[in-house]
């Protein structure tokens, strides 16, 4: 019984640590990608190519003066950010990163815990996330904040419906609520993934759109649209509280994309069975990455690249080498595939943010109720019909 | 033999006169009215001769009147010797009175209406007499009651007449109440109303029940024949026209009671107590009525009380088992009493409406025929030897003597009194000076002829028609020896009465006033009819009317029923008023009330669990 | 372990419930009500009702309470005023409540002796699968009726809350 | 390891919640707070349902709780709409002011 606790604690530290760093660097990646989309270099002053920029931001936010405006409803004002960040982080605990691995004699799942109603748990937690924003908007006693809070919570509630319907469709196929079993049902070839089962790509698209709305990402990020509502619900917040809202947003983003991967893209399962060489793909990718960076380092376009690129190249090559070690392979390979897929979806988020313009509020709400909800409903009915007929 | 024709003829007369009488002339009305009654009389003669000896009853069944479950009543008529006598009396005397009425009613209004009612009366009386079962008899019984009411109240514009009519009808109805109870008992006991059926089973029935039936029948008879408790209506019935008094209140209707009692002789012979009751009531009525008759000044009132007294005699005869003697006196009484009334009518007619004897006197010279006729009638009623009254009254007194000596002596004394008050009236009317203001004139022949016939009958009727021998097969034989002694004493009493009357009213006119002033108290008592009417009024009418007003109307109807209804309404309003307060509009109060209700329910369950041991 | 879990969350529930009643401003009572619902969800898990716990969080805490918070935010009517008194409530209120508590205690005490021990895996029936099967077989009619009920509620809410067309 | 939780403690908890809900409904004046106490009562009832479902090892209790939730949702929707209109017309949320239905 005590080994369970110890293992759990270790796993929590590992996951928590990884998650926090990813959060920070996701922010960096986003700023870099958007910058390159907009043909500008993005942050590269602080550390090589701005790699230390997240660190700088964190320090900035922590050290800023943490002022609490007097006219604010103190209790809820302070509770709101706390509520937002906890809800966002809670859902990570259920997401499986990999299969059962053998570490120093103990068998354990690369997953904090598994609930046999995992999907429902995540849905519940995401619906609780609304309060963070709503209360923040209201308690800061500011018209813009109130409106921002109202709008974003209304938006999240409206999109929660198509989201859950979109999730329900693949569940019908894999017939389980537990995320781990979900992935096991998508084992084997590429076309075993739920995405290609029947016409699940429709529910995948709906899921992604709803996910964008849920996390208040670009096409739907009206509430904190600078030009309209100043900063939306977190206008009155500063320093750490402001930071927590940002972290909450990115955590939600990660959760949603993990959900997408687990539900549709087969989680940590390789596109084709290991027997056919899926194990070597990561090695090849990192090796190529390492060579390119070194070559880039040798004949740099900018003089400082000469000093920065080669170390990166070396790091990539080391990683490629690590993937070759059979002992670690059983743990690293599933992890690699899971991170690759999640990374792809995250990149999609960032990419969309860089390109699409913002919805007007009534269009946004109209789209939810008049387009997305009916389509999600039809999709669910069709999937149910298909299963009833063919299985 | 079409017995039904006898009652139907007068009915036809009634219908024609009743419906079209207004447009007929007097002659035409007479033709129908008198014609129908005389035809009925002739038809009675034809049927009686046709039926021959008539030792057994001859019955005719026409249709089943009532058929319901065990009860089945046929509309049947039957004739035996008793019915024959009654038929002859009713139709005979009826025709004479109809003829007399032509003259008497000539100047009165509503001529056709009078004769229509008379015919209707004849129809009901004949139905009563011919009835073969109690129910049809009861139809006749009620019918005659109705006609007596109509005829008493003939002068409907005078209040006295209408009141007298009401009084007569109500008192009769009280009597009929007893009669109906008797009929119920008869049906319950014997399962049928037919005389033949009832009298066949009567001996087997328990004596107590028979006595009760007898007494109840007697009670009905008292109502109809004006005996002690229910005689009060007869004197007031004089308010009607005199022919009515003669026909209904002397000859026919009042005798119905005697006929019914005689008809049910089987019940009475098996219920000795009931027989005694009849006798005692009879003698009491006779005596009391006679005493009242002494002091009356209205000539019709005197004869009314004498009728009540003579009926008392008939009941004494029936009560002592001498049914045939009772019927015999009934017949003779019909003759001389009808004559007395018609004579009085003639006197009143000649004095154009004057009825008080103190305004009369010395009419002997002015209306000699009436004087002669009235003399014959008075002799007959006083029981002057060899007149009809003498034979029938002696038969009854003999039966009474055979039964109980004291009965005989009271009877003799009453006979004496009867003679005295009849001749008192006779002398006051026809002897002394004329004290009135009118110019008396003799009645027209149409009135005198019936009077003369009746006079003849009342003198020789008793001798001519020997009823006791005629009715021998109908009634059980009465072994009363033809003792000469009692007869002599009775007739002596009668002569004494006549002599006394002559002494006091012709020879010494002052004596009656001195006696009256001497025995002041007794005289006023007798003059005011022992205050019986006042007593009845106080004892029965006042409490009944008062009681119903106070207790029934005020107390029960208003108090109880209205009280409860309004009470409930008021209570509902009261409760509503209280509940209204709960509607305070305040949601939180409502919530509290709901919670309170919930707590009560849960408490109830808890109590049930603790007490009832519910799981 | 269940004991600790129960005591903690039951405590949270009671304290929050009291807070709901006591608080002046509706928004704070709303938040405490959410806390009550959350702790109840955990207790449902303890009793093996997984689906209901999830539903509680999603439907109750996640949707209904959001509506409440919404309305409170929209109306922004501020704290409760002391105005107005209900005579019956103040007079009869307290005794009724005391009686209610006493009676409920009586009933629960009655059950106490025949108590069953609650432990985590005690009842497997509460999974989404078994609830779903029961819902769509034996309880199909109520399910359809509630769907109609919700439809009516939606229409009603829209009609009531929409702005009058000038 | 530790002692298990006796069932009746759940019932006592729901009894407490229930009476708190009733108290809230009776004593509070703000309509929304009263409305929330009703939700509290419904939650107490749900807890009882689930407890007895556990005691009888049947899923029926859960379904009843589910239906209670659904009905509560419908009720909340309509109720809040009514509260909105009341506030729009009467400018007040104090229940004692809304007593026009008095006799």
pLDDT in tens, B288-312: 899 888 888 888 889 999 999 999 9
Is residue A52 located within the same domain as residue A77? no
Is residue C93 within 8 angstroms of chain B, CB to CB? yes
Q: C1-78, which class in CATH? A: mainly alpha
- Identity of the residue in D26, D101, D103 whose CB atom sits nearest the CB atom of B595: D26
pLDDT of B575 higher than 80: yes
pLDDT for A129 beyond 90:
no
Q: What is the 3-state secondary structure (H, E, C) of B127-188?
A: HHHHECEHHHHHHHHHHHHHHHHHHHCCCCCCHHHHHHHHHHHHHHHHHHHHHHHHHHHHHH
Phi, psi dihedral angles at D67 (to 5 degrees)? -65, -35
Across the interface, whether the CB atoms of B596 and C92 are under 8 A apart is answered: yes
pLDDT at C143: 93
| Residue A240, domain member (yes or no) | yes
Is residue B54 left, alpha or beta, with left meaning phi > 0 and alpha meaning psi from -120 to 50? left
**Model-level ipTM above the cut of 0.85:** no
Which run of H or E residues covers position D5? Answer: strand D5-6
Q: Is B345 exposed, middle or buried (0-12, 13-18, 19+ CB in 10 A)?
A: buried
- Give the chain A residue nearest C41 (alpha carbons): A124
Interval B179-189 mean pLDDT: 92
Q: Confidence band (pLDDT; 50, 70, 90) for B536? A: confident
Q: What percentage of chain B has pLDDT greater than the value 90?
A: 18
Average pLDDT on A293-321 reads 83
Using the 3D structure, point to which of A36, A61, A86 is the last residue of a domain. A61
Instruction: Answer yes or no: is pLDDT of B24 > 50.
Output: yes
Chain B nearest C-alpha distance from D63 (Å)? 25
Q: D1 pLDDT band (50/70/90 cuts)?
A: very low
A85 and A191: one domain?
Answer: yes
Closest CA to B533 of B292, B311, B358, B309: B292
Domain definitions of chain B by residue range = 273-519, 528-567, 586-615
**Closest chain B residue by Cα to residue D103:** B583
The pLDDT assigned to B482 comes to 67
pLDDT at B191: 87
- Whether residues A234 and A357 fall in one domain: yes
- Over residues B370-399, the mean pLDDT reads 86
Confidence at residue B479, expressed as pLDDT on a 0 to 100 scale: 62
Residue B271 CB-half CA count within 13 A: 29
C75 and D CB contact within 8 Å: yes
D 68-97 → C contacts, CB under 8 A? 69-78, 80-85, 87, 93-97
Nearest CA in chain D to B585: D102
Give the number of domains in chain A: 2
- Domain span at residue A39? 1-61
Give the number of beta-carbon pairs within 8 Å between B and D.
33
Q: Is the pLDDT of residue B388 over 50?
A: yes
Which residue in chain C is spatially nearest to B583 when comparing CA positions? C88
3-class DSSP assignment, residue B73? strand
Q: State residue D49's pLDDT score.
A: 94
- Tell me if D103 and B585 make a contact (CB, 8 A cut-off): yes
Distance CA A216, CA C66 (A): 17
Residue predicted with more confidence, D44 or B518: D44
The first and second tokens of residue B564, run together, are: 């409860």
Q: Is residue A281 in a domain?
A: no
* A315 pLDDT more than 50: yes
Question: Cα dihedral sign for B38, B41, B45, B50?
Answer: positive
Tell me the domain boundaries of chain D: 7-97
CATH ID of D7-97, from 1.10.287.3510, 3.30.930.10, 3.40.1260.10, 3.40.50.2300: 1.10.287.3510
User: What is the band of B474 on the pLDDT scale with cuts at 50, 70, 90?
Assistant: confident
Query: What pLDDT does B42 receive?
Result: 92
A227 pLDDT band (50/70/90 cuts)?
low
Residue A111 DSSP one-character state: S
A73 and A26 in a single domain? The answer is no
**pLDDT of B535:** 85
Q: How far apart are CA B195 and CA B211, in angstroms?
A: 17
* pLDDT tens per residue, range C90-107: 777 888 888 888 888 888
Is C61 at the interface with chain A, CB within 8 A? yes
Of B584, B591, B606, the CB nearest to C103: B606
Q: What's the average model confidence in pLDDT over B327-354?
A: 87
Residue the block writes with tokens 């895996």: C121
Instruction: Compute the distance between CA of residue B538 and CA of residue B535 in angstroms, rounded to an integer.
Output: 5
Is residue A371 assigned to a domain? yes
Contacts of C150 in chain A (CB under 8 A): none
pLDDT > 80? residue B488: yes
The residue-averaged pLDDT of B52-56 equals 77
Q: Which of D15, D35, D51 sits opposite C47 (nearest CB)?
A: D51
Whether residues D103 and B591 touch (CB distance < 8 A) is answered with no
For B125-162, what is each residue's pLDDT tens digit?
999 999 999 999 999 999 999 999 999 989 888 899 99
D65/C49 touch (CB, cutoff 8 Å), yes or no: yes
Kindly state whether C121 is in contact with chain D, defined as any CB-CB distance less than 8 angstroms: no
| DSSP string for B188-238 | HHHS--BHHHHHHHGGGS-HHHHHHHHHHHHHHHHHHTT-GGG-THHHHGG
Q: Chains C, A in contact: 3+ Cβ pairs under 8 A?
A: yes
Measured in degrees and rounded to the nearest 5, phi and psi for residue A357 equal -75, 170
Contact D70 C150 (CB under 8 A): yes
Q: How many CB atoms lie within 10 A of CB C70?
A: 20
Residue where a domain stops, chosen among A22, A38, A61: A61
pLDDT in tens, A6-48: 888 988 999 999 998 998 888 888 888 988 888 888 887 777 7
Q: Tens of pLDDT along A331-386?
A: 888 888 899 999 999 999 999 888 888 888 888 888 999 999 999 999 999 999 98
Name the more confident of C130 and B511: C130
Which chain B residues are Cβ-neighbours of D27 within 8 angstroms? 588
Neighbours, chain A (3 or more CB pairs < 8 A):
C
Calculate the average pLDDT of chain B.
86
Q: Which residue has better confidence, A97 or B439?
A: A97
- C37 touching A, CB under 8 A? no
DSSP A186: T
- According to DSSP, the residues that pair with B59 across neighbouring strands are B78
CB-based contacts of A167: which residues, under 8 Å, 6+ apart? A119, A123, A207, A259, A263
| pLDDT tens readout for residues B490-529 | 888 888 888 888 888 777 777 777 777 777 788 888 888 8
Contacts of C46 in chain D (CB under 8 A): 5
Best of C19, C38, C55, C58 to disrupt the A interface (most A CBs within 10 Å) is C58
DSSP code for D94:
B
CA distance B582 to chain D (A): 9
């Amino acid at each position: 019984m005590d080994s369970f606790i110890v293992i759990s604690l270790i796993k929590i530290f590992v996951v928590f640590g990884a998650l926090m760093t990813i959060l920070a660097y996701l922010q960096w990646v986003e700023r870099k990608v958007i910058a390159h989309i907009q043909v500008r270099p993005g942050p590269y002053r602080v550390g090589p190519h701005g790699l230390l920029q997240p660190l700088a931001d964190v320090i900035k936010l922590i050290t800023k003066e943490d002022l609490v405006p007097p006219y604010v409803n103190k209790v809820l004002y302070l509770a709101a950010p706390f509520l937002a960040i906890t809800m966002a982080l809670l859902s990570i605990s259920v997401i499986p990163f990999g299969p059962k691995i053998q570490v120093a004699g103990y068998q354990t799942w690369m997953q904090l815990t598994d609930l046999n109603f995992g999907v429902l748990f995540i849905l519940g937690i995401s619906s609780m996330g609304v309060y963070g924003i709503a209360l923040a908007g209201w308690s800061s006693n500011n018209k813009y904040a109130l409106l921002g809070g109202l709008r974003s919570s209304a938006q999240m509630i409206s999109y929660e419906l198509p989201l859950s319907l979109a999730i329900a469709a693949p569940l019908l196929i894999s017939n389980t609520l537990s995320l781990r079993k979900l992935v096991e049902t998508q084992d084997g070839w590429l076309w075993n993934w739920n995405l290609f089962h029947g016409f699940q790509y429709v529910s995948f698209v709906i899921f992604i759109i709803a996910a964008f709305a849920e996390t208040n990402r670009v096409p739907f990020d009206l509430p904190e649209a600078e030009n309209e509502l100043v900063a939306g619900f977190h206008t009155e917040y500063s320093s750490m509280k402001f930071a927590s809202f940002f972290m909450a947003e990115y955590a939600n983003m990660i959760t949603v994309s993990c959900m997408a991967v687990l539900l549709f893209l087969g989680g940590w399962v390789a596109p084709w069975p290991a027997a056919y060489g899926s194990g070597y793909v990561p090695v090849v990718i990192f090796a190529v990455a390492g060579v390119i960076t070194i070559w880039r380092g040798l004949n740099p376009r900018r003089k400082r690249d000469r000093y920065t690129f080669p170390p990166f190249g070396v790091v990539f090559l080391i990683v490629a080498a690590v993937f070759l070690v059979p002992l670690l392979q059983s743990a690293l390979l599933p992890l690699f595939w899971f991170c690759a897929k999640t990374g792809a979806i995250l990149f999609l988020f960032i990419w969309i943010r860089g390109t699409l313009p913002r919805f007007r509020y009534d269009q946004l709400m109209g789209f939810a109720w008049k387009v997305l909800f009916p389509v999600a409903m039809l999709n669910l009915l069709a999937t149910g019909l298909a299963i009833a007929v063919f299985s | 033999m079409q017995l039904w024709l006898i009652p139907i003829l007068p009915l036809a007369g009634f219908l024609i006169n009743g419906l079209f009488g207004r447009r007929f002339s007097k002659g035409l009305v007479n033709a129908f009215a008198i014609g129908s009654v005389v035809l009925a009389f002739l038809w009675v003669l034809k049927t009686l001769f046709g039926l021959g000896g008539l030792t057994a009853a001859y019955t005719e069944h026409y249709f089943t009147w009532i058929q319901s479950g065990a009860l089945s009543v046929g509309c049947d008529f039957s004739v035996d010797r008793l019915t024959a006598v009654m038929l002859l009396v009713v139709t005979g005397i009826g025709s004479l009175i109809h003829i007399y009425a032509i003259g008497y009613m000539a100047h009165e209004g509503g001529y056709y209406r009078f004769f229509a009612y008379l015919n209707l009366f004849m129809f009901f009386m004949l139905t009563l007499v011919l009835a073969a079962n109690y129910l049809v008899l009861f139809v006749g019984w009620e019918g005659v009651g109705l006609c007596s009411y109509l005829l008493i109240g003939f002068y409907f514009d005078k209040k006295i007449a209408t009141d007298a009519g009401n009084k007569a009808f109500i008192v009769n109805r009280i009597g009929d109440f007893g009669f109906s109870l008797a009929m119920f008992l008869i049906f319950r006991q014997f399962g049928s109303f037919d005389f033949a059926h009832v009298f066949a089973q009567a001996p087997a029935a328990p004596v107590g029940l028979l006595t009760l039936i007898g007494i109840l029948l007697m009670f009905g008879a008292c109502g109809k024949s004006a005996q002690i408790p229910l005689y009060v209506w007869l004197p007031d019935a004089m308010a009607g026209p005199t022919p009515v008094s003669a026909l209904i209140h002397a000859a026919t209707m009042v005798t119905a009671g005697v006929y019914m009692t005689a008809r049910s002789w089987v019940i009475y012979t098996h219920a000795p107590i009931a027989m005694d009751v009849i006798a005692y009531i009879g003698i009491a009525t006779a005596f009391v009525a006679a005493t009242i008759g002494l002091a009356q000044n209205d000539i019709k009132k005197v004869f009314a009380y004498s009728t009540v007294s003579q009926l008392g005699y008939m009941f004494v005869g029936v009560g002592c088992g001498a049914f045939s003697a009772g019927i015999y006196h009934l017949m003779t009484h019909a003759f001389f009493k009808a004559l007395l009334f018609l004579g009085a009518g003639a006197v009143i007619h000649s004095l154009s409406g004057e009825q008080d004897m103190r305004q009369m006197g010395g009419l002997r010279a002015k209306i000699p025929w009436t004087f002669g006729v009235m003399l014959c009638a008075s002799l007959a009623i006083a029981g002057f030897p060899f007149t009809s009254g003498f034979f029938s009254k002696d038969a009854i007194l003999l039966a009474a003597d055979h039964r109980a000596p004291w009965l005989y002596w009271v009877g003799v004394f009453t006979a004496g009194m009867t003679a005295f008050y009849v001749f008192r009236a006779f002398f006051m009317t026809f002897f002394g000076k004329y004290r009135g203001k009118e110019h008396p004139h003799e009645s027209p022949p149409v009135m005198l002829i019936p009077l003369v016939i009746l006079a003849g009958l009342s003198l020789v009727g008793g001798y001519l028609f020997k009823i006791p021998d005629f009715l021998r097969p109908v009634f059980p034989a009465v072994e009363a020896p033809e003792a000469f002694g009692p007869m002599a004493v009775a007739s002596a009493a009668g002569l004494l009465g006549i002599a006394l009357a002559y002494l006091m009213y012709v020879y010494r006119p002052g004596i009656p006033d001195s006696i009256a002033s001497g025995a002041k108290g007794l005289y006023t008592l007798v003059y005011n009819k022992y205050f019986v009417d006042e007593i009845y009024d106080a004892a029965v009418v006042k409490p009944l009317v008062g009681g119903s007003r106070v207790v029934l109307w005020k107390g029960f109807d208003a108090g109880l029923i209205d009280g409860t209804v309004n009470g409930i309404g008021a209570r509902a309003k009261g409760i509503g008023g209280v509940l209204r307060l709960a509607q305070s509009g305040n949601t939180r109060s409502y919530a509290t009330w709901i919670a309170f209700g919930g707590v009560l329910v849960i408490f109830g369950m808890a109590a049930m669990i603790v007490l009832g041991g519910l799981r | 372990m269940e004991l600790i879990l129960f005591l903690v969350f039951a405590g949270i529930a009671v304290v929050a419930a009291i807070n709901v009643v006591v608080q002046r401003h509706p928004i704070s009572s709303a938040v405490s009500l959410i806390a009550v619902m959350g702790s109840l969800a955990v207790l449902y898990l303890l009793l093996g009702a997984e689906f209901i716990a999830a539903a509680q969080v999603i439907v109750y805490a996640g949707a209904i309470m959001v509506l409440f918070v919404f309305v409170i935010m929209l109306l922004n009517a501020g704290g409760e005023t002391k105005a107005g008194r209900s005579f019956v409530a103040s007079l009869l209120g307290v005794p009724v409540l005391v009686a209610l508590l006493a009676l409920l205690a009586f009933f629960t005490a009655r059950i106490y002796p025949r108590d069953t021990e609650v432990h985590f895996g005690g009842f497997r029936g509460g999974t989404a699968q078994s609830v779903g099967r029961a819902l769509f077989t034996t309880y199909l009619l109520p399910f359809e009726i509630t769907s109609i009920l919700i439809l009516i509620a939606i229409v009603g809410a829209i009609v009531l809350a929409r702005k009058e067309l000038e | 390891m530790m002692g298990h939780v006796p069932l009746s403690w759940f019932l006592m908890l729901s009894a407490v919640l229930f009476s708190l809900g009733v108290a809230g409904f009776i004593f509070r004046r703000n309509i929304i707070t009263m409305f929330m106490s009703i939700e509290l009562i419904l939650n107490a009832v749900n807890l009882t349902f689930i407890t007895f479902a556990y005691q009888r090892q049947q899923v029926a209790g859960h379904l009843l709780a589910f239906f209670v939730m659904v009905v509560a949702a419908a009720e909340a929707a309509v109720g809040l709409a009514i509260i909105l209109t009341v506030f729009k017309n009467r400018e007040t949320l104090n229940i004692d002011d809304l007593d026009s239905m008095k006799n």
